[in-house]
Amino acid sequence: MPESIAAIPFIILAAATLLGAAMVVLTRNVVHAAFWVLEVMMAVAGLFMLLSAGFLALVQVMVYAGAVTVLLIFTVMLTLRDREDAIRSRDLSWAAGGIALATLVAAGTAIVSFAPPIPKLPAVTPGVAEFGRLLFSGWALPFEIASVILLIALVGAVWWSGGER
């Protein structure tokens, strides 16, 4: 495992993330916002790679960038009556801003006071194989429950989309 993370990739990816997130909130076009979400997801995946979480980066791309964003675009399309409706007001609120700022301050203080001990990094980076091994041994129960959750979600989604009965 590398002792430290390379700075430059981090900075690029971080900037990409934050830019994308800002654009999601600031853009007036709903469809554009959806695409900016896609951008953010990809950037985060890159960050995962930087953190030696390969498998997670893959899952991020597949699930978020793939499924979630697609679904978002689908819904946007389905709820737009015509092209013009995609543009809407910016919908920004001072109250929300205040709350977000307060949260940021709180988080900031927490981060500042958080001083983790410097661990001894393992010689070999735990890879997908290790991930898989642990997934089906230590984390087996959550895995099974996760399956059930997905099942429920699937059934629920189907039912709700069922239209007129």
State which of positions 18-37 bind other proteins (CB under 8 A): 18, 21-22, 24-25, 30, 33-34, 37
**How far apart are the C-alpha atoms of 74 and 52, rounded to whole Å?**
33
- Tell me which DSSP letter residue 79 carries: H
**How far apart are the C-alpha atoms of 71 and 69, rounded to whole Å?**
5
For position 87 contacting other proteins by CB under 8 A, the verdict is no
For residues 59 and 48, the answer to whether their CB atoms sit within 8 Å is: no
- Tell me which DSSP letter residue 62 carries: I
State which of positions 97-156 bind other proteins (CB under 8 A): 97, 99-104, 106-109, 111-112, 114, 116-117, 119, 121-122, 126, 130-131, 134-135, 139, 142, 146, 149-150, 152-154, 156
For position 65 contacting other proteins by CB under 8 A, the verdict is no
Residue with tokens 């642990």: 134
For position 48 contacting other proteins by CB under 8 A, the verdict is yes
Residue 47 or 84 with smaller CB distance to other proteins:
47
